[in-house]
Amino acid sequence: MTRTATTAPSPLDIITAAAAAIAVRGYYQPLSRMWESAVPTVMDVEHYLNGTAMDRGIRPRMDAAQAEAAATAAAVLQWARDGESGNEYRAKLAALARAEHATGRDLSILCSAVVAWQRDQQRAHRAAERADEAAHSRHQGAIGERLTAAVTVDAVVKLPERHYGYRTQQRHMIKLRDEDRNVFVWFSSTATIPSEGDRLTVTGTVSKHDTYRETAQTYLTRCRWTKAD
């Protein structure tokens, strides 16, 4: 969408263009870091809406992304208008999102709404996952028992390395979940580890049962694993 010089963009126009720019570029870049090589999102949005020159190929790609961006922008705009009690950023954003038109000084905060909404959705998703885990996860096996389970890798967290003389040991915390939503934790010091999202058959020794954030967790050691077919 290109506006005329006399037509001020609406908050929805700006958010839609920002959603398209983020989708095309693969990132959100704040104006406060404009010295970096990444193009600030607000600059893409301003050039796109004004019809001024952009990096080669960006405008047609943003045009092509408009349909999906419009759906995202509608959700972002409603979220922005809703605000959040006690949150200064959300209060300012809500006031701008409820306005009919936006000014140039409003561009930056309206563009930031897209990534703020995405982060809020991710937090809500993680909270829902934690609640689901707390409701369903149960301790598995007995301490010292060797058990085998079909699991999915939920997370792989790199831990600080350990150094033994000239040898460096890589360490990772690997969170696993089976089809019944039971949670397993494996602290791995092996060179080869699975990736997040992998489906595995894992065999390990139950080292302890613990509860974290109201979720029962079964800790495994000396694990062997293979990718599921």
pLDDT in tens, 91-134: 999 999 999 999 989 999 999 999 999 999 999 998 998 899 99
Clarify whether residues 108 and 194 are in a common domain. Answer: no
pLDDT score of 2:
54
Instruction: Please count the structural domains in the chain.
Output: 2
Find the angle CA(26)-CA(30)-CA(35) to the nearest 5 degrees: 100
* For range 8-15, the mean pLDDT: 96
Domain membership of residue 3 (yes or no) is no
Two tokens, residue 158: 């790199």
Clarify whether residues 124 and 178 are in a common domain. Answer: no
- Residue at a domain's end among 99, 133, 167: 133
Domain membership of residue 125 (yes or no) is yes
pLDDT at 37 over 80: yes
Clarify whether residues 102 and 169 are in a common domain. Answer: no
Clarify whether residues 159 and 111 are in a common domain. Answer: no
Residue by residue, DSSP assigns 96-128 as HHTSSS--GGGHHHHHHHHHHHHHHHHHHHHHH
Clarify whether residues 192 and 217 are in a common domain. Answer: yes
Domain membership of residue 6 (yes or no) is no
- Residue at a domain's end among 133, 155, 185: 133
Domain membership of residue 26 (yes or no) is yes
d(CA 225, CA 93): 48
Q: Which of the two residues, 191 and 222, has the higher pLDDT score?
A: 222
197-228 pLDDT tens trace = 999 999 999 999 999 989 999 999 999 999 98
Domain that holds residue 63: 11-133
Clarify whether residues 113 and 22 are in a common domain. Answer: yes
Clarify whether residues 128 and 74 are in a common domain. Answer: yes
146-155 pLDDT tens trace = 999 999 999 9
Domain membership of residue 172 (yes or no) is yes
Q: Mean pLDDT in the chain?
A: 93
Domain harbouring 200, CATH code: 2.40.50
pTM of the predicted protein model? 0.73
Find the angle CA(215)-CA(142)-CA(207) to the nearest 5 degrees: 70
Clarify whether residues 157 and 64 are in a common domain. Answer: no
Place of tokens 């302890």: 208
- Residue at a domain's end among 133, 154, 183: 133
* For range 29-41, the mean pLDDT: 91
pLDDT score of 85:
87
Domain membership of residue 68 (yes or no) is yes
Clarify whether residues 185 and 127 are in a common domain. Answer: no
Cα dist from 207 to 68, 168, 170, 178, 180, whole Å: 48, 24, 20, 18, 20
Clarify whether residues 112 and 187 are in a common domain. Answer: no
Clarify whether residues 172 and 205 are in a common domain. Answer: yes
pLDDT at 6 over 60: no
pLDDT score of 69:
95
Domain membership of residue 107 (yes or no) is yes
Strands 146-164 and 167-178 turn out to be antiparallel
Clarify whether residues 19 and 123 are in a common domain. Answer: yes
pLDDT score of 1:
54
Domain membership of residue 2 (yes or no) is no
Contact 140, 147 (CB under 8 A): yes
